[in-house]
């Protein structure tokens, strides 16, 4: 058995059954092993940022890692933007990066690069396997690292000769390290704060604390103490809709965030980080919380928040209490698209347990308020700020849900252009993905940011901020990649197209002119 075969068998034995791939020559023995050992679903992406973004989306929905197959340092580099996002989303991914044979590396052939150096910038775990007999064990440890709570980026660099040499040994599955339990002191401190200052306390939640299992406990704690619940702006995945908490996120705009947080003297962090500005601005602080606020950590990002929330509710004697009804499901809005109207329309028509991949950027900041009364859904966000993850995440999420759930992308046009190749994979895999391109023909968020500098953009600036010359035709782009598409200029047209698309086991794209 060569190394490559031992690797495939180890991955399968460790529960990895999906491989998002864009292979090259140095990975051919691994590709051949995937042919010879059945069980791995392989999904091609036509650029590596699509590949890594799909793995991120897959993890968020399947709650287990997939592997990627990437070609040498530059192939990894092409996928690093979405690995950055996945790291911020705390998704688990096992990257297999084929590379030059160990003995060939010193010859500095063209594709030779500092693969490990690149990997370090986006991975919590990096190893270059150097021995076919150890490759299986290395892979099992990579999977364990990727499964570390809640998820990590593990990158295994695979020199070609380690892949093709004989002597491979299938690695025993390695259990993921247990998540560090929350200390009793942290729970007692939180209880003390909430009892004494509940009304002045913000419970800021992120990570898995915004998923549905945690909602009843958060609500009990909030109701018993008068504390406010809010979600971290950069949370990657929330459970939303009827039966779930009607959480709002901390605002993106710095002044609005400072205003929203100014009344809290205490902030309890549950899988969330202290809220800070996405960027710094002249004359504004870096932090969004009041300077005199006391911060405490109930659960770190790498600690399971559920037992801590349960213990805290119990310590507070917080009684079970129903999560409030969000009111009637909204109707389809009509007329010209507005953010509110689109949110309402999506809420009106989405199927049960839809997955929303929201990379709406500037257009979508107000979506939440108008979509609480939707059916239960999973709402995914860009967590790392590197635009271009919306379409790949949607694609991977559809595969993570085994094509059984509708995925709706609310997708800004500028960001969509970063990884538009995703549409081809959606067509190839016949994925139930409905993409709504919010076509405003500009980098609108930046035109807003430019205004903060104190002026309106001149011709030179607009040559870098305007996407309208020439106009991108998203129906044409989708069709050319095998995806049916249509344009909508009103919300009722958009609703009709969405509903029609839901009946098909295939992707569909709506170009919504906003």
* Interacting residues with a copy of itself between 111 and 170 (CB under 8 A): 111, 113-114, 117-118, 120-122, 160-161, 164
Nearest to 204 by CA among 163, 241, 249: 249
Using the rule CB under 8 A, is 474 a contact of a copy of itself?
A: yes
Least Å from the CB of residue 160 to a copy of itself:
6
Shortest Å, Cβ 276 to a copy of itself:
4
Site for a copy of itself (CB under 8 A): which residue of 452, 490, 493, 499? 452
Of 143-151, 169-177, 453-461, 494-502, which segment contacts a copy of itself by CB under 8 A? 453-461
Answer yes or no whether residue 282 interacts with a copy of itself by CB under 8 A: yes
Say which DSSP state 472 is in.
Answer: P
Using CB under 8 A, count the residues that bind a copy of itself: 107
C-beta of 443: minimal distance to a copy of itself in Å? 8
Of the candidates 149, 379, 424, 508, which one interacts with a copy of itself according to CB under 8 A? Answer: 424
From 43-51, 213-221, 317-325, 345-353, give the range in contact with a copy of itself by CB under 8 A.
43-51
Q: Determine the Cα–Cα distance for residues 434 and 365; give it in Å rounded to an integer.
A: 20
To the nearest whole angstrom, how small is the minimum distance from the Cβ of residue 416 to a copy of itself? 10
Minimum separation from the CB atom of position 40 to a copy of itself (A): 7
**Judged by CB under 8 A, which of 446, 490, 500, 502 binds a copy of itself?**
446
Strands 508-513 and 433-439, by their bridges, are parallel
Structure tokens at 293: 């606020």
Query: Tokens 């108008």 identify what position?
Result: 370
In the set 317, 404, 460, 505, which binds a copy of itself (CB under 8 A)? Answer: 460
Strand 153-159's sheet: what is its strand order?
A: 41-44, 18-21, 66-71, 93-99, 153-159, 125-128
Buried b (16+ CB within 10 A) or exposed e, 222-241: bbbbebbbbbbbbbbbbbbb
253 interacts with a copy of itself by CB under 8 A: no
Cα 80-81-84 angle, rounded to 5 deg: 80
CA 240/CA 37 separation, integer angstroms: 40
Told to check if 255 binds a copy of itself by CB under 8 A, we report: no
Comparing CB distances to a copy of itself, the nearer of 135 and 318 is: 135
Choices 69-77, 199-207, 297-305, 335-343; region in contact with a copy of itself by CB under 8 A? 69-77
Selected from 175, 291, 328, 458, the binder of a copy of itself by CB under 8 A is: 458
Preceding peptide of 204 cis, ω within 30°: no
By beta-carbon proximity to a copy of itself, the closer residue of 466 and 496 is: 466
Cα separation of 109 and 107, whole Å? Answer: 6
125: its two tokens: 């775990």
- Using rule CB under 8 A, residue 108 touches a copy of itself: yes
**Under rule CB under 8 A, residue 469 binds a copy of itself:** yes
445 is an interface residue for a copy of itself by CB under 8 A:
yes
280: contact with a copy of itself by CB under 8 A: yes
Query: Does position 47 bind a copy of itself by CB under 8 A?
Result: yes
Orientation angle between helical segments 305-315 and 215-225, nearest 10 degrees: 30
The only residue of 259, 314, 453, 504 in contact with a copy of itself, by rule CB under 8 A:
453
Q: Is 77 in the site for a copy of itself (CB under 8 A)?
A: yes
> How far is it, in rounded angstroms, from Cα 282 to Cα 453?
9
Q: What is the DSSP string of 219-279?
A: HHHHHHHT-EEEE-TT-SEEEESTTS----BPPSSHHHHHHHHTT-SEEEEES-PPPB-SS
Question: Of these, 16, 135, 427, 495, which contacts a copy of itself (CB under 8 A)?
Answer: 427
CA atoms within 13 A on the CB side of 220: 19
Does 24 engage in binding with a copy of itself (CB under 8 A)? yes
Helices (H), 284-428: 305-315, 339-349, 390-400, 413-416, 422-428
Question: Judged by CB under 8 A, does residue 12 bind a copy of itself?
Answer: no
Shortest spacing between CB 71 and a copy of itself, in angstroms? 9
Minimum distance of a copy of itself from residue 98's CB (angstroms):
10
């Amino acid at each position: 058995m060569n190394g490559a075969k031992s690797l495939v068998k180890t991955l399968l034995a460790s529960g990895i059954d999906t491989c998002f791939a864009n292979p090259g020559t140095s990975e051919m023995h691994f590709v051949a092993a995937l042919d010879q050992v059945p069980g791995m679903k392989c999904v091609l992406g036509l650029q590596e940022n699509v590949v890594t973004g799909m793995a991120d989306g897959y993890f968020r929905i399947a709650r287990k890692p997939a592997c990627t197959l990437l070609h040498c340092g530059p192939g990894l580099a092409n996928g690093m933007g979405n690995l950055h996002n996945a790291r911020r989303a705390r998704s688990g991914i096992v990257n297999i990066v084929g590379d030059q044979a160990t003995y060939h590396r010193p010859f500095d052939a063209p594709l030779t690069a500092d693969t490990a150096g690149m990997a370090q910038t986006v991975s919590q775990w990096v190893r270059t396997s150097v021995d076919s007999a150890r490759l299986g064990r290395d892979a099992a440890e990579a999977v364990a690292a990727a499964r570390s709570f809640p998820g990590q980026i593990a990158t295994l660099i695979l020199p070609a000769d380690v892949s093709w040499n004989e002597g491979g040994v299938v690695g025993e599955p390695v259990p993921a390290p247990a998540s560090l339990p929350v200390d009793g002191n942290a729970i007692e401190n939180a209880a003390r704060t909430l009892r004494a200052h509940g009304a002045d306390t913000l419970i800021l939640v992120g990570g898995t604390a915004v998923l549905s299992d945690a909602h009843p406990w958060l609500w009990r704690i909030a109701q018993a103490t008068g504390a406010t619940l809010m979600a971290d702006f950069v949370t990657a995945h929330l459970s939303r809709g009827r039966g779930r908490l009607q959480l709002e996120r901390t605002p993106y705009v710095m002044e609005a965030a400072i205003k929203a947080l100014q009344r809290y003297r205490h902030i309890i962090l549950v899988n969330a980080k202290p809220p800070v500005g996405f960027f710094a601005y002249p004359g504004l602080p870096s932090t969004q919380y009041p300077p005199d606020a006391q911060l405490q950590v109930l659960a770190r990002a790498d600690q399971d928040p559920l037992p801590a929330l349960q213990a805290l509710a119990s310590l507070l004697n917080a009684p079970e209490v129903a999560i409030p009804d969000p009111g009637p499901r909204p109707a389809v809005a009509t007329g010209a698209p507005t953010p509110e109207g689109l949110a309402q329309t999506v809420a009106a028509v989405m199927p049960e347990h839809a997955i929303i991949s929201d990379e709406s950027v500037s257009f979508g900041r107000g979506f939440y308020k108008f979509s609480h009364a939707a059916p239960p859904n999973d709402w995914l966000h860009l967590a790392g700020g590197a635009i271009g993850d919306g379409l790949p995440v949607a694609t991977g999420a559809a595969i993570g849900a085994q094509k059984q759930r509708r995925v709706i992308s609310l997708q800004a046009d500028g960001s969509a252009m970063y990884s538009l190749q995703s549409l081809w994979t959606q067509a190839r895999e016949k994925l139930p993905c409905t993409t709504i391109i919010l076509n405003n023909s500009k980098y609108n968020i930046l035109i807003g940011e430019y205004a903060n500098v104190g002026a309106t953009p001149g011709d030179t600036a607009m040559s870098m901020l305007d996407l309208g010359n020439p106009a991108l035709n998203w129906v044409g782009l989708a069709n050319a990649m095998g995806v049916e598409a249509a344009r909508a200029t009103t919300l009722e047209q958009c609703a009709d197209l969405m509903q029609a698309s839901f009946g098909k086991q295939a992707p569909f794209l709506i170009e919504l002119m906003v």
